[in-house]
Amino acid sequence: MGIWLHELKLLLRQRMAVPLLLLTLAAASAAVLAGAAEVSRQQDVIKRIQPQQAEEEAAIADFVTVGADPGDAAYYTFHATWDEPAPMAFAALGQRDVAPFVLRVRALSLESQIHEGENYNPEMALPGRFDWAFVLIYLAPLFLIALLHDLQSGEREAGRMAMIQSVVRNERALWLRRVAWRVGLIYLALCAPLVIGGVLMAAPVGEVLAMLGLAALYVLFWTALALLLARLKFGSVTNAASLAAAWLVLTLVLPGLALLAINAAVPVRQGVELTLAQRELVHAGWDRPREETMQAFFRQYPEWQNMAPLDAGFHWKWYFAFQHLGDVNVADQSRAYREGLEHRDRWTRRIGYLLPAVGVQAGLHRLAETDLGAQIAYQDRIRAFHTSLRRFYYAYMFNDVPFTMADFAKAPRWGDAGDDS
């Protein structure tokens, strides 16, 4: 034990060690704080919109219930959806700054609503957010490099190597102790703020442990790289430069090249194509023979096929039928678009096996539920919610039931089916 403490004392006496450890601790703490602040801002937004949404619904109810037409209610009422940040979202904010986490939908065609963007400042999003994932992936390797690059070469350059080798019985154990302290303390400085953050956010233990595990793997990767390089017995300067170059290539250059390759290999333009196509399909509904529209709609919803035939003039039944058919007819394109995105994501994960920075980032985003998968999952929940909204309004419309004030309260609420969890 004494020998370990002795090594610790030696380490802390080094000029760079204490400032570097404090810097690591400060960066990780600041990142956790910044992430937690962002997450609590998002939670505040979700809380804040509830009364605003209720007020808006009440105002719509006031004029819609005059005519008591369920079509009016379905047309004018927007329903709020939101995507609560997951407990570990503070550690890796991911795509939540550029994708909406609150979105309103109404019972009209969904494809023209679900791709809406959020108001955000792109110049602020461009450099990426300062979160714990950033500190781990970009800064931690640099701190490690600073502490490890001269582990042996420094002793050699100071002329102490021969003495160490003659005095120390088990040289391997000596280097192990030195490496263990350096890496262990950096890891501690990195992870203590994360654990505190996780406890404060009441995150599941498993998720915190998984992130700690990913961090450990990443830290070990860079440690191994530094130790492997040390075997080549270069000078400290060459070691530092080589490791920094490796960092540059592994965290900036190769991910950049991989992005170019993936975006070129998997083009995703169906998003625009599908909205263009969907508009044509919906609006062609106005000119299509009414009976044709209704028959196509009844194939989707046979339960309404026995309704009384529509007379001339405008009918919400018909209007909502062709709105929905617009979605049905681009379902394939919508699926293709989604698959394109998932395909890109899958390739990114594969690249993660080769590039530790990418792999760890992907893992952290997954655990934090801030990645593309989480975005798509939110969209899926919106789709399910939209379906229940439509069914709710259809029941009034197709049964010709007047829509009264009391019925507003019966509309499906986001979260009823557990879809805000």
Partner 1 sequence: MSMARRIARNDLTQMRRSRVAQVSLLILLALSVVAALTSIAHRNASDELRARFQAQANAEFGGQPARHPHRMVHYGHFVFRPLPALAAFDPGVDSFTGNTIFLEGHRQNSANFGDVRQSSLLARFGQLTPAFVLQVLAPLVLVFIGFGAIAREREQGTLRVLAAHGVSARAMLGGKAAALGLVAAIMLAPAALAMAWLMAAGGAPVLPAVVLLVAYAAYLGLWVLGIVIASSLFANARSSLVALLGLWTLTTILLPRIAPDIALAASPLPTRLESDIAIQRDLRATGDSHNPDDPYFAEFKAGVLKQYGVDNIADLPVNYSGLLAMEGEALTSSMFDRYATRQNAQQRQQGNTALAFGLLSPAIALRSLSMAAAGTDLEGHRRFLAQAEAYRFDIVQRLNRLQAEALTYSDDRNRNNDPEAARRVRIDPSNWHDVPEFAYRGATTTEKLRAAAPGMVLVIGWLLAMLAGFRVAAHRLGRAL
Q: 147 to 166, contacts with partner 1 by CB under 8 A? A: 150
| Residues in 245-274 at the binding interface with partner 1, rule: CB under 8 A | 245, 248-249, 251-253, 255-260, 262-264, 268-269, 271-272
Contact between 161 and 154 (Cβ < 8 Å): no
| 213, 194 Cβ separation under 8 angstroms | no
104, β-bridge pairs: 80
- Min dist. Cβ of residue 35 to partner 1 (A): 10
Task: Establish if 136 lies at the interface with partner 1 (CB under 8 A).
Answer: no
- Name the β-bridge partners of 82: 102
First-to-last C-alpha distance (Å) of the chain: 48
Q: Give the chain's largest Cα–Cα span.
A: 103
Structure tokens at 291: 């009976």
Q: Tell the smallest beta-carbon distance from residue 134 to partner 1 (Å).
A: 6
For partner 1, the closer CB: 177 or 382 = 382
Q: Please state, in angstroms and rounded to a whole number, the distance separating the CA atoms of residues 354 and 357.
A: 9
Query: Is position 43 an interface residue for partner 1 (rule: CB under 8 A)?
Result: no
420 sits near partner 1 (criterion: CB under 8 A): no
Q: Which of residues 277-306 bind partner 1 (CB under 8 A)?
A: 279-280, 283, 286-287
How many alpha carbons lie under 13 Å from residue 231 in its C-beta half-sphere? 6
Q: Is 11 in the site for partner 1 (CB under 8 A)?
A: no
H or E segment to which residue 81 belongs = strand 79-82
* Residues from 314 through 333 that contact partner 1 (CB under 8 A): 314
Taking residues 172 to 201 in sequence order and writing x for each that binds partner 1 by CB under 8 A, - otherwise, the string is: ------------------------------
| Residue 13 or 172 with smaller CB distance to partner 1 | 13
Query: Is 59 among the residues that bind partner 1 (CB under 8 A)?
Result: yes
Q: How far is the CB of 335 from partner 1 (least distance, A)?
A: 15
Q: How far is the CB of 109 from partner 1 (least distance, A)?
A: 12
Q: Rank residues 5 and 253 by Cβ distance to partner 1 and give the closer one.
A: 253
CB 388 within 8 A of CB 417: yes
The answer to whether 132 and 196 are in contact (CB under 8 A) is no
Shortest reach from residue 205's CB to partner 1, in Å: 25
Q: Whose CA is closest to 420, among 45, 51, 74, 80? A: 80
Interface of this chain with partner 1, residues 12 to 41, rule: CB under 8 A? 16, 27, 34, 37, 41
- Give me the amino acid identity at 399: N
Between residue 102 and residue 131, which ones bind partner 1 under the rule CB under 8 A? 102-104, 112, 115-130
# residues contacting partner 1 (CB under 8 A)? 98
Residues 6+ positions from 153 with CB-CB distance below 8 Å: 230, 233, 234, 235, 236, 239
In the complex with partner 1, which residue's Cβ is closer, 112 or 298?
112
What is the smallest separation between the CB atom of 166 and partner 1, expressed in angstroms? 26
**Residues in region 339-368 near partner 1 by CB under 8 A:** 340-341, 344-345, 347-348, 351, 357-358, 361-362, 365
Smallest gap from Cβ 7 to partner 1, in A, equals 22
Render 88-141 in DSSP notation, one character per residue.
Answer: GGGG--GGGGTS-SEEEE-SS-STTTTT------HHHHTT----HHHIIIIIHH
